[in-house]
Amino acid sequence: MTLAACSSVATKPDELVIKKTDKVLTAQGYSRLQKISSLTQKQHQFAQEQAATVSAYRSLAKQLYQEKLADGLLVADQVIKAEPFRVYFDLFLRQAKVLQSKKVYGQKSVSLSLVITPRFYKCISSSVKVVLHCLREEGKIQFTRIGYKQAAASTVNLNCYGCSSQLSVSGFSKKKNTVDSVMLRAGLYDAEWLGNMAVSVLSRYGVLTHLVFE
């Protein structure tokens, strides 16, 4: 009985992922064939194609959002849960292929096709750790914001406790400047700043006056 219980616990995570086979989604997008005087003929054709393709992607995304996962969840529920799911969704959506591009009754029509694989369901149904692993395995992590490594907060001298490590820049000293330290202890740091600004303004004024009147 003990072995049976251990076995059921070990297989429980796999049960949370619905077993899926390849599924093909198709979508169509349209754009009006209106003339734009500021564009050349080729630019106009490209703009129509682009508008129709974006429309098709939107339609395809709506369908993909509604794909069912385990426990009554939808793909959309995972996408809004954490950024790695959204990133994986967006990059997967870009794998769609153009089936057809043609003119239909004064409009440009573009048809897209996207094959949803069992791997997609597995990655999008799991935890943030798993979806990040999927991005790394597919070589996509370097194309995302979540692929950047944050620098340690200790590498920059921000002189504050709540500063984010995202603002850190390697190579800066953690020690205060000697003059700044003395001025801070004497309560004259603001006076030093005002003095520097006054000298800078007067110097620029003198240079500009010399250039204008000489």
DSSP type of residue 18: P
Between CA 187 and CA 153 the distance in angstroms is 27
pLDDT at 43: 82
Name which of 58, 56, 76 is nearest 66 in CA terms: 76
pLDDT at 48: 86
Query: 72, 83 in Cβ contact below 8 A?
Result: no
DSSP type of residue 150: P
pLDDT at 180: 65
Query: 119, 137 in Cβ contact below 8 A?
Result: no
Report the DSSP beta bridge partners of residue 23: 116
pLDDT at 6: 42
Residue type, 160: C
Name which of 135, 169, 172 is nearest 152 in CA terms: 169
Query: 65, 86 in Cβ contact below 8 A?
Result: no
Residue type, 172: F
Tokens encoding 93? 């959506």
Mean pLDDT for back-to-back runs of 10 residues, the chain (214 residues) = 41 47 89 76 83 92 92 91 90 92 86 93 91 87 60 49 45 59 66 72 69 54
